[in-house]
Amino acid sequence: MNPSPPRGRGAAFNPDNRYAAWQREAADDGWWNDGEEMAAPLTTELIVDTAKSVISYNESPDIPYDRSINPYRGCEHGCSYCFARPSHAYLGLSPGLDFETKLAYKADAAERLRAELAKPRYVCQPVALGINTDAWQPVERSLRVTRGILEVLAECRHPVTIVTKSALILRDLDLLAEMAREHLVHVAISVTTLDAALARRMEPRAPSCQRRLLVIRELADAGVPVTVLAAPLIPALTDHEMEAIFQAAAAAGATSAGYILLRLPHELKVLFRDWLAHHYPGRAAHVYSLLRQMHGGKEYDSAFGRRQRGAGPLAEIIAQRCRVALRRCGLDAPSLVLDCGKFRRPAATNGAPAQGMLF
């Protein structure tokens, strides 16, 4: 087992990413002495992401959108279960501590977005914001990358769906409330657990569960439609809380809800197993046994249609529990349809009018 995670971090180590030409193996040679030396605290390093575009497109049948914007790569929340951790391998970095401490950000995201929306061939459809990693990172308070993106979307009357667990989203309530009045925005707040002690270990730098419920309340009071996501649902650790999470969210003003089963792609299998061994060693075998029951004997099945829900009797029991809880809590409202008809193509970034405005 690796050393305990550094204070305020979710991962304990930096596994080599799957694209590396070599792999390392840790070994204890007796040199390190905890009583005499202490590791320096880990700080966050920012890297400018020079991507040529900010809108990414997908054809996944599992998700209700075909495009997304991710202002940041990496996430300071440090959630031990984050399915996005393996994506750091594309930057040549580790999905472990690197994912939490080395953040890439799109400094010119607003300008890039404006240019993409101004293209004559662009067809408006709802865009998902902050899907891979949270768009409201702690550094967003000063960088304001996500704020700039929202300003462009609001100006163009472009519909957007949001998933976050950050209370910093309330900073942008002025834009969100304005867009909500035009049926242009929908927000999903993820709540993994209502157990504060578990949350501190599992999501060391994320807002508390009670703070997230307050965020739901403030968004709802401002007229912004809110969904709660019990995500990820971890068997033998958090799955028993699904009904309680839905009930608390309904009381806070959410109008719909859902869940996503724990996903363990690539290097995350090793990272999450290590986290369980540190914090809940007595439950580790049970967690993985239940996951295998829902993934055909494997710890994770990446196939469309099964990766987020699983399959088999146990997965169906969870799905049935969800359906009953949604009806009981009044969270079974039909999916919100955002308005794409109000889209206004922006002026080109060079100051010239967009092509469509000439006719």
User: 116-120, 250-254, 333-337 — which is least confidently predicted?
Assistant: 333-337
Residue 40 has pLDDT above 80, yes or no: no
Query: How do strand 160-164 and strand 127-129 relate by DSSP bridges?
Result: parallel
**What local confidence, expressed as pLDDT, does residue 357 receive?**
43
**What local confidence, expressed as pLDDT, does residue 110 receive?**
96
The total number of structural domains in the chain stands at 1
> Two tokens at 334?
């039909």
**Greatest mean pLDDT among 59-63, 160-164, 330-334:** 160-164
Q: What is the span of the domain harbouring residue 120?
A: 45-333
Q: Is 312 part of any domain?
A: yes
Burial 17-46 (b: 16+ CB within 10 A, else e): beeeeeeeeeeeeeeeeeeeeeeeeeeeee
DSSP annotation string for 191-247: ---S-HHHHHHHSTTSPPHHHHHHHHHHHHHTT--EEEEEEEE-TTTTGGGHHHHHH
Q: Is 25 part of any domain?
A: no
Q: Is 36 part of any domain?
A: no
Residue type, 337: V
Contact 72, 103 (CB under 8 A): yes
Q: pLDDT of 156-171, one tens digit each?
A: 999 999 999 999 999 9
**What local confidence, expressed as pLDDT, does residue 307 receive?**
84
DSSP at 119: S
Q: Is 35 part of any domain?
A: no
Domain CATH for 52: 3.80.30.30
Query: How do strand 185-190 and strand 67-69 relate by DSSP bridges?
Result: unpaired
Distance (Å, whole) CA 130 – CA 140: 12
Q: What is the dihedral of CA 198, 39, 102, 98, to 10 degrees?
A: -70
Q: Is 226 part of any domain?
A: yes
Q: What is the dihedral of CA 191, 136, 76, 292, to 10 degrees?
A: 40
Which carries the bigger pLDDT value, residue 187 or residue 22? 187
Give the pLDDT band of residue 125 (cuts 50, 70, 90): very high
Once rounded to an integer, what is the mean pLDDT over residues 209-226?
98
Once rounded to an integer, what is the mean pLDDT over residues 175-198?
97
Q: Is 128 part of any domain?
A: yes
Q: Is 11 part of any domain?
A: no
Q: Is 119 part of any domain?
A: yes
Give the pLDDT band of residue 22 (cuts 50, 70, 90): low
Once rounded to an integer, what is the mean pLDDT over residues 335-349?
88
Q: pLDDT of 62-92, one tens digit each?
A: 788 899 999 999 999 999 999 999 999 989 9
Contact 79, 268 (CB under 8 A): no
**What local confidence, expressed as pLDDT, does residue 30 receive?**
62
